[in-house]
């Protein structure tokens, strides 16, 4: 049967990433890592007899070798990796792209395995009869500049091998090293993330499954990356290398993820490392995205607010703005609505890691009672002589200062206020002030004159922090001083 399609290798190579050649290393290394290997050897050198030519070879010791050699040149053949989320391959396209680029740049590719092999060049494809005893070797020759060669060498150092079994040999410089993992910060297990799996008919579908996410330390000067099982995909924007131990939903070029996927990753990182955040990191975009995610946990929200605002913090209450002023005076940080996004506020309200200023610092000047509650008023027949004289002093001074009669009450209220004044009515909380002090108020004259001036000033303003109130306080104080000087008998 005649071939249905033909492929323009030059055109195919033009579709490849144009920002570097690291993808060639990624494609070949991941194929080796997906095999049952004990050792993977990566060789890289500049060919001395040709100009701007690089040789890259990957060799492994998988006992079986290539499962199907024809897949090396058959586009979109069904991959045996599709049904395994912990294998990196998916489109069965990587080797073909490498071959296309190599030949388009005037190079070649040689594949040797346990079932034979192939050699690809501008002259076409030829078979290699010789069979390896075990494992496979892929050797690629392609065009590259010195700068691209240096980038490839640097890129190899960013790979995170599944275990310490990958050797890197830079033949030109006679350097041989075993790639190893960076320092592990945390390994988070059971993270439910989107991935790609084939159904029973071999069709690749998006699904979700639990996996492990490894977070690694980033050395100063390096760029943090999001990895798919050791292969760098895209800068991570977090302070860590993030290695996902299953297939990541990627674009065809396998060099990017969706914003929704990264948000899920950012939330995973925040939930694992919120206690490690610095003041500088707290304002980074990945933290903001994670704080808006419904899956962010309560401990993370609290840790972020601790770092951002401190442990002494309250939320501004627009119904009681004076309570925010009290909070600031007492050394608290006031968090306003505009400080956080709507989604973040939803998580803050859900997890409640911060109290309203109106609740923490109640500055209301009236005391409300449940109409069906307990009567805490103290009947007048239970007042002591001292309490009666205190009431008479307040009524006389009120009449002199404001020209209005004053109603006096004493309450035995378990709430902690001392007194309240409203509408020509003054209430003393007998329980808070104390029986002895109320009965011997002249012995504590300064205390009571100060309290009375404070309460009478509310005639001018309800808020302790309004200009009307504090001006009223000085006005009442001045009138009280002049009144007691003119009529000292008010104290008799």
Taking only the tens place, the pLDDT of each residue in 161-209 is 987 788 888 887 778 888 888 999 999 999 999 998 766 666 667 889 9
Are 456 and 479 in contact by the 8 Å Cβ rule? The answer is no
pLDDT tens-digit series, residues 64-78: 877 666 655 544 444
pLDDT of residue 394: 96
Looking only at the bridges linking them, the beta strands covering 241-244 and 225-228 are parallel
d(CA 358, CA 402): 31
Q: What is the mean pLDDT of the chain?
A: 87
Tens of pLDDT, residue by residue over 94-115, are 677 888 889 988 899 999 988 8
Domain boundaries defined on the chain: 9-178, 184-283, 380-491
Select the more confidently predicted residue: 89 or 218.
218
Give tens-digit pLDDT for 424-443: 999 999 999 998 999 999 99
Mean pLDDT for 276-285 is: 94
State the pLDDT confidence band at 295, using cuts at 50, 70 and 90: very high
Q: What percent of the chain has pLDDT over 90?
A: 57
Task: Collect all residues with Cβ–Cβ distance below 8 Å to 361 and sequence separation of at least 6.
Answer: 314, 323, 326, 327, 330
At 362 the pLDDT is 74
Instruction: Say how many C-beta atoms besides its own lie within 10 A of residue 339's C-beta.
Output: 14
Long-range pairs for 116-125 at CB < 8 Å and ≥24 separation? 116/69, 117/69, 118/69, 118/72, 118/73, 120/73, 125/73
The reported pLDDT for the residue numbered 3 is: 55
370 band by pLDDT with thresholds 50, 70 and 90: low
Residue 23 to residue 255: CA distance in whole angstroms? 9
* Mean pLDDT, range 110-136, rounded to an integer: 90
Cα(90)–Cα(198) distance, rounded to whole angstroms?
Answer: 9
**What's the whole-number mean pLDDT along residues 29-45?**
90
Cβ 331 vs Cβ 312: under 8 Å: yes
Residue percentage of the chain with pLDDT more than 70: 87
Higher confidence at residue 140 or residue 82? 140
Distance between CA atoms of residues 3 and 14, nearest Å: 23
Q: At what angle do helices 146-156 and 22-33 cross, to 10 degrees?
A: 30
Q: Which of 288, 400, 414 has its CA nearest to residue 345?
A: 288
What integer pLDDT is reported at residue 374 of this predicted model?
75
CA dist 400 and 11 (Å) reads: 100
Sequence-ordered alpha helix ranges (H) in 352-406: 357-360, 385-402
The pLDDT value recorded for residue 322 is 78
Rounded to 5 degrees, what angle do the CA atoms 194, 195, 199 make?
A: 120
Q: Is domain 9-178 annotated with CATH 3.30.70.260?
A: no
Instruction: Please compute the mean of the pLDDT values over residues 318-329 and round it to a whole number.
Output: 84
Q: What pLDDT was estimated at residue 11?
A: 66
pLDDT tens, residue by residue, 383-424: 999 999 999 999 999 999 999 999 999 999 888 889 999 889
pLDDT band at residue 305 under the 50/70/90 scheme: very high
The answer as to CATH 3.30.2010 being correct for domain 380-491 is yes
């Amino acid at each position: 049967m005649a071939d249905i399609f033909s492929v323009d290798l030059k055109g195919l190579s033009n579709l490849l990433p144009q920002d570097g050649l690291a993808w060639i290393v990624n494609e070949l290394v991941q194929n080796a890592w997906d095999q049952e290997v004990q050792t993977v050897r990566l060789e890289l050198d500049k060919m001395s007899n040709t100009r701007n030519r690089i040789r890259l070879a990957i060799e492994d010791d998988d006992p079986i070798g290539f499962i199907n050699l024809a897949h090396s040149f058959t586009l979109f053949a069904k991959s045996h990796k599709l049904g395994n989320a912990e294998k990196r391959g998916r489109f069965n396209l990587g080797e073909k792209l490498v071959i296309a680029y190599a030949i388009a740049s005037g190079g070649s590719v040689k594949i040797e395995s346990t079932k034979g092999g192939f050699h690809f060049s501008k002259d076409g494809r030829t078979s290699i009869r010789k069979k390896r005893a075990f494992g496979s070797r892929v050797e690629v020759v392609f065009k590259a500049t010195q700068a691209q060669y240096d980038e490839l060498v640097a890129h190899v150092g960013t790979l995170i091998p599944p275990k310490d079994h990958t050797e890197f040999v830079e033949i030109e410089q006679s350097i041989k090293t075993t790639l190893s993992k960076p320092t592990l910060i945390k390994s988070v297990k059971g993270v439910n993330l989107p991935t790609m799996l084939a159904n029973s008919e071999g069709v690749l579908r998006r699904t979700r499954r639990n996996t492990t996410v490894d977070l690694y330390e980033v050395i100063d000067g390096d760029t943090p990356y999001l990895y798919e099982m050791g292969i760098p995909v895209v800068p991570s924007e977090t302070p860590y290398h993030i290695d996902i131990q299953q297939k990541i939903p990627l674009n065809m070029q396998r060099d990017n993820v969706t914003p929704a996927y990264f948000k899920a990753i950012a939330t995973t990182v925040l939930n694992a490392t919120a206690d490690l955040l610095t003041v500088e990191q707290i304002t980074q975009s990945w933290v903001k995205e994670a704080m808006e995610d419904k899956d962010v946990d309560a401990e993370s929200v609290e840790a972020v607010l601790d770092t951002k605002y401190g442990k002494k913090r309250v939320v501004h209450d627009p119904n009681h703005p004076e309570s925010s002023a009290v909070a600031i005076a007492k050394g608290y940080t006031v968090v306003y609505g505009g400080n956080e996004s709507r989604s973040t506020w939803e998580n803050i309200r859900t997890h409640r890691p911060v109290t309203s200023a109106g609740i923490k610092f109640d500055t209301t000047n009236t005391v409300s009672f449940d109409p069906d509650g307990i009567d805490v008023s103290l009947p007048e027949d239970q007042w002591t002589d001292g309490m009666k004289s205190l009431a008479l002093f307040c009524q006389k001074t009120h009449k002199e200062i404001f020209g209005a009669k004053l109603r006096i009450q004493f309450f035995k209220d378990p709430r902690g206020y001392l007194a309240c004044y409203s509408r020509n009515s003054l209430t003393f909380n007998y329980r808070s002030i104390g029986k002895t002090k109320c009965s011997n108020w002249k012995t504590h004259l300064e205390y009571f004159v100060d309290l009375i001036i404070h309460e009478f000033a509310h005639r001018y303003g309800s808020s302790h922090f309004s200009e009307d109130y504090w001006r009223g306080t000085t006005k009442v104080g001045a009138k009280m001083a002049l009144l007691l000087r003119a009529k000292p008998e008010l104290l008799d």
